[in-house]
Amino acid sequence: MLTGGYVSATPTFTVKLACVSFYKNVEKNLPPGSGIFIVVNAETGAPLGIFQENRAMTDMRTGAAGGLAVKYTTPNSDSNVIGFIGCGAIARNMARGAAAVRPTFTGVAYGLAGAEDFCRDMEQELGVPFTVASSAEELCQQSNIIFTQTTGSQTILEKAWVKPGTTIIASGSDQPTKQEM
């Protein structure tokens, strides 16, 4: 996947080459993805810097994007209940991003693995309450903002479960093999 970003009238732009979803790498003690960022002079096209990252920057960037989505696409309410379907590294960064713009939300999480650890760790780190939902349906019934960040090729929530007015921020649907939505 190749992505880029440029802000008009700035001296540089950045291009990223991402190699994501190599999940079998974990068995080899390798990261499940990698990426290279290239910072380029916007006037001359000359590369100014190359930065290799093994998902750390990607995960932080995705979490920041999630926080911005909460800030600009959801009502500003202290009574937000934010649900997290999937409880891995991306979910942790989404929770951090959400906390940066809505520091008093309540979290609820559902995952096939790791939901208890996620809730405990995020509650301790962010200082907001987190609970574990017994199903994705239960999570949907409680939440008015839902983050999905799974690697699944199966649908993980049903429209009928989602309350009217709920915002869904789906970060796990970034390639054809991922069909969480």
Closest CA to 165 of 92, 79, 97: 79
Residue 48 main-chain phi, psi, to 5 deg: -105, -25
**Average predicted confidence (pLDDT) for the chain:** 88
pLDDT band at 173 (very low <50, low <70, confident <90, very high): low
7-52 confidence digits (pLDDT tens)? 888 999 988 887 777 778 889 988 777 888 899 999 999 999 998 8
49-93 confidence digits (pLDDT tens)? 998 877 777 788 888 999 999 999 998 876 789 999 999 888 999
State the pTM of this model: 0.80
